[in-house]
Amino acid sequence: MKRRAFLKAGGAGAAVAASSALAAPAIAQGKMQWKMVTAWPKNLPGPGVAAQLLADRITALSGGRIEVKLFAAGELVPGRGVFDAVSEGTAELYHAVPAYWGSKSKGILLFGSQPFGLRADEQVGWLTHGGGQALYDEMYGRFGLKPFLCGNSGPQWAGWFSKDINSVDDLKGLRYRTTGLASEMCAKLGMAVQAMGGRDMFQALQSGALDAGEFIGPWTDSALGFYQVAKNYYWPGVGEPSSAEECGVNLEAYNALPDDLKQAVALACESLYNPVWTEYTTKHAAALQKLVAEQGVQVKMLPESVIVAMGNAAGEVMTELREDDDELVKRTVESFLAYRSSIADYMVYADNGQMNARALDYKY
């Protein structure tokens, strides 16, 4: 996941200057020059790589009629400022994750990841076949944005811990980095939840300001060096069974496009979802082997009692969302829960059955 605001904040003066300079798309010789701002350092393994792929693919699928230039976190606006920057027209589109925008609406958090929620393929299923995209559009339309999913990290990890977790009592007071709805789940278990970027998480673990934290998974986590400051790597990351990456497009700019270019932007996002997801999965697997063999990382499973307690806490979070004052949030959570119930019943026989069978001891 839960990608993180792994950023180097820029100065306020630079952001104001960028806003005045970039308020409208430059058009030269029939070409539009669009700015993509991201929540990531340039080419950070995982989300930073995916953001550049998306910028390049929009340019290619538009036949060069939309030239997308990527600005990493802090280059034009801070990573956590990309939502507002595109909403206000400072840039035309951003690459980030819905988990960062809970202050805008709790309902937004459901479109990226949900504790004990949907897998990466199920997330697309909900949006495409379960009514989720219409709710996604309605929610982001409030802020002048058109949203698209454009990738997924797959299952995230519970993260890096400085000490063993043997019971629910070990979580109380634990200073832990996470984000999104997982933050609310953990807080209900007495954890002292903190939100911060990847570099800040490394420094906090190193100094002892944090006891534990999760970021994404082995590929990205290796690049950030968390294994240097904590050796206990816990799974499963039930706070984020998947974490969708999104592209938010300024709605006015999107609506001004001719139909073929609207299709180019949409197809660029849709066509990258599986390649990004499968790259994460493939490189997570290879990175985990190296972490264990070369860095002495101890892979450990959370006790079942802890997982059950987290599940109960996640249920409390969902109950609160169902009682939210915002009617759109209520409709969103009911849609999510209905799809989750249906797909979870089926997966017992389908994917769960296949994975359990593959894990049995036999010659192959």
Identify the residue whose tokens are 């300001």: 209
Q: Is 177 annotated as a binding residue?
A: yes
Specify which residues 245 forms β-bridges with.
151
Cα separation, 120 vs 50, in Å, equals: 16
29 belongs to an annotated ligand binding site:
no
**CA 176 to CA 159: how far, in whole Å?**
9
Token output for 350: 């389908």
Rounded CA-CA distance 256/242 in Å is: 33
Residue 188: both structure tokens together: 């209900």
Residue 88 phi/psi, 5° resolution? -90, -5
Helix ranges (DSSP H) in the chain? 12-21, 47-61, 82-87, 120-129, 132-141, 181-187, 198-207, 218-224, 251-255, 259-295, 304-322, 327-347, 351-358
Q: And the tokens for 177?
A: 């980095």
Q: What is d(CA 63, CA 175) in angstroms, rounded to the nearest whole number?
A: 49
Q: Which of 87, 111, 54 is nearest to 242 (CA)?
A: 111
33 assigned ligand-binding residue: no
Cα gap 262→254, rounded to integer Å: 7
Rounded distance, CA 224 to CA 202, Å? Answer: 7
Gap between the Cα atoms of 285 and 334, Å rounded: 34
Widest CA span in the chain: 65
Does 199 belong to an annotated binding site?
A: no
- 316 assigned to a ligand binding site: no
Residues of each annotated binding site for Na(+) = 215
Residues of each annotated binding site = 156, 177, 214-215, 240
Residues of each annotated binding site for substrate = 156, 177, 214, 240
